[in-house]
Amino acid sequence: MKYTEKEINELIKVYRESLKPNWNLLHTEQTPRGKALEKPSIYKTYQEGEVIELNQDIANLSNRTLDDIIMSRRSIRKYSKDLISFDELSYLLKLTCDIRQIGNGFALGVVPTGGARNTLETYFYANNVEGLNKGLYHYQKDTKNIRLIKKDVDPESVNDSTLGQLRDTGIVVFWSTIPYRSEYRYIFTAHKMIAMEAGHASQNLYLAAESIDCGMVAIAAYDQSKVDKLLELDGEDEFVVYVATVGKKIK
């Protein structure tokens, strides 16, 4: 199916408008929060699958300065076959996902998020990680551990869903959003903030990866239906909004 030029122009207009919501039209009494509806959970849990404790004592993995890290960061799509160590995985997840405080309907963590709504969930496919079985994992915000949610994963399905970008990747990160967490408070102004939150998470991962001599590329072009199916998301109340690959740099 191809769009007509008129349809393309109409789509451009719609998506431009989504980046500039009118906050003057946001009336608290019209929001689910203003109607005193039940608050959405701020984190997702799985009841089945092996739980793996991440290493927490990882503060000394990098001694590079922030200036050096930012100025040397590049998007890298090809990686060596070297494994990401478990300490490095723990480090990457801590600097990208860590939550310092969870309260009644809010969460404060390392990634800025509008109104502390914390709409993102983090999944990853372990492809080349030392001491970790291949499979799909979910980061658990409440315990700061990871859970293996799917072990029988065909690597080709991951590669297909990311439009051929698996390569020698150490991990493939999938950020999903549960938009109602933000819509509960912000209704139609929520979606710009969700996109911004995903960008913040990606930049954290970029800098964390660079600081330990790993490469990374953020991926906006993926097959939406296939990545959602891979993670067993419904594609409506939760769906993938951003993808990244991380691996060891080629020397």
Percent pLDDT > 70 in the chain is: 100
Q: What is the pLDDT of residue 231?
A: 98
Residue range(s) defining the domain that contains residue 21: 5-248
Cα 10 from Cα 35, distance rounded (Å): 34
Question: One-letter amino acid identity for 198?
Answer: A
Q: What is the pLDDT of residue 185?
A: 96
Whether the predicted pLDDT of 1 surpasses 90: no
Residue-wise pLDDT for 111-138, tens only, equals: 999 999 999 999 999 999 999 999 999 9
Q: What is the pLDDT of residue 234?
A: 98
Of 172, 183, 119, 169, nearest in space to 150 by CA: 172
Q: What is the pLDDT of residue 72?
A: 96
Which tokens sit at 172? 């493939």
Residue identified by tokens 């946001």 is 26
Whether this model's pTM surpasses 0.85? yes
CA torsion through residues 7, 10, 14, 15, sign: positive
Q: What is the pLDDT of residue 80?
A: 96
Half-sphere exposure of 240 (CA within 13 A, CB side): 25
Which tokens sit at 185? 């408070």
Cα 44 from Cα 191, distance rounded (Å): 20
Whether the predicted pLDDT of 225 surpasses 90: yes
- Band of residue 59 on the pLDDT scale cut at 50, 70, 90: confident
Whether the predicted pLDDT of 86 surpasses 90: yes
Which tokens sit at 108? 């404060």
Give the 3-state secondary structure percentages of the chain, helix then strand then coil, rounded to 5.
35, 20, 45
Cα 54 from Cα 76, distance rounded (Å): 26
Average pLDDT over residues 191-204: 97
Kindly report the CATH number assigned to the domain that includes residue 11: 3.40.109.10
3-state secondary structure of 215: strand
3-state secondary structure of 127: coil
The total of structural domains in the chain comes to 1
Angle at 166 between CA 160 and CA 171, to 5 degrees: 125
Q: How far apart, in Å, are the Cα atoms of 227 and each of 11, 46, 61, 81, 166?
A: 23, 19, 32, 24, 13
